[in-house]
Chains A and B, each alone.
Chain A
């Protein structure tokens, strides 16, 4: 199993760059089929149930069914940034390389989730609000979140040194989180909204009706698992790419 003898490895790299990513890859390899299977099952159940076996809303007609894509993707767009915040903190505090790579891997997924939420919202808004876009607080803050993702990804790709890039993007993520929350409330102050209240909340008053709620739970679970699977896969790819670069560099030295 352990091909290279322990003492030959460079000291700095031993713990965090090789041993732990290896364990990470082994564990995630075992988890991956379950996560992907679960994601596909939940998405298929949630979407088919949602699209074909729920009644049309009496006011919104069949457009209501876009909720099965819109709400989960919006939820994951925010949670992806939150996950990046946590992994960035772990990188800053513990210097755990997998953590920085996971943050890097999550960013494009979060970007796409934000885009899906914005696009499905626009498609729904056109027949319902009569406009593709309104400068509503929720819509605007999602657009700002989109810009934050863009900046974060651009910074990652602009810096050559991996560790410096991880440091800079982690701090950007921390500062960006504070400003994203600030923007959310600033935008609220700036314009009153068109967007309805939360579709999901713990007090039942505000919730959507049960007919729509149960398939929605499935599709949310599907999106969570899909996000997990994508992030794990991308993190593995990052680890392998980095290991390959390290091996190539070592070969050149010999």
Chain B
């Protein structure tokens, strides 16, 4: 499993274009929003938590189809399926790899982008906390979506259509944590809900992803 993780990370780092792309996309979203809504600092600081969460979510979505597509094309997915490693483990490791290459950089860059969006000082810690808790769920749900569409030739658009509705609960609770934190309110209950969703998806969705992969590889 660790070997697979290291292989995935190496591929993501060396292939170029995959690793920094999500981050660059996040930056572009954050840059474009003030052009759309105007540079008013008060308005920006009001919508900052939501925009940052939305940007992180879309950046996450962007790299989803890479999770299985390349392995599917060169046949290594078949090898992985016949290897002693259970397919559930493969799915879990794949989503962990996706989180390390996409979610983690997003979390690290979020405070910087928060400054760009004029996020209030009280909002930084809740923002980072909510992204840390929420992005693993985004990766795991995305892995399930990627497994669903792996065999399709033009699966990219369908992938977004399938995955985005599944992102709704995570987005709501994550953005609520960031929003309430920025306003200085208590963040306990949305934070607990977010953590619950993340734990639940990590525990259950690799099984669904593996079942879907089996159907696709048959």
Contact = CB atoms under 8 A, between A and B. Distances in A.
Interface of A: 144, 147-148, 150-151, 154-155, 158-159, 164, 167-168, 171-172, 174-176, 179, 182-183, 186-187, 189-190
Contact of B176 (A168, A179, A190): A190
A158 to B, nearest CB: 6
Which of A150, A154, A174, A189 has most chain B Cβ within 10 Å? A189
B218 A164 contact: yes
B212 A171 contact: yes
Contact of B205 (A175, A176, A182): A175
What secondary structure prevails in chain B residues at the interface with A? helix
A153 B158 CA distance: 11
B144 interface: yes
Given A151-B158, A155-B149, A158-B149, 18 more contacts: A147-B164, A151-B165, A154-B161, A155-B148, A158-B155, A159-B151, A164-B218, A167-B211, A175-B166, A179-B169, A182-B168, A183-B165, A183-B168, A183-B169, A186-B193, A187-B168, A189-B172, A189-B173
Interface of B: 144, 148-149, 151-152, 155, 158, 161-162, 164-166, 168-169, 172-173, 176, 189-190, 193, 197, 205, 208, 211-212, 215-216, 218
Contacts of B148: 155, 168, 171-172
A179 B162 CA distance: 12
A190 B172 contact: yes
Contacts of A144: 165, 168
A176 B193 CA distance: 18
A189 B176 contact: yes
A17 B152 CA distance: 26
A7 to B, nearest CB: 28
A150 B160 CA distance: 12
Given A158-B158, A189-B193, A176 B172 contact: no
Contacts of A154: 158, 161-162
Contact of A151 (B162, B211, B215, B216): B162
What secondary structure prevails in chain A residues at the interface with B? helix
Nearest to B190: A189
A175 B144 contact: yes
20 contacts: A147-B165, A151-B158, A154-B158, A154-B161, A158-B158, A164-B215, A167-B211, A167-B212, A167-B215, A171-B212, A175-B166, A175-B205, A179-B165, A179-B166, A186-B168, A186-B169, A189-B173, A189-B176, A189-B193, A190-B176
A248 B85 CA distance: 42
Contacts of B166: 175-176, 179
Given A164-B218, A182-B169, A186-B169, A174 B197 contact: no
A155 B165 contact: no
A156 to B, nearest CB: 11
Contact of B162 (A155, A182, A186, A187): A155
B190 A176 contact: no
A237 to B, nearest CB: 24
A179 B169 CA distance: 7
Contacts of B161: 147, 150-151, 154
Nearest to B152: A158
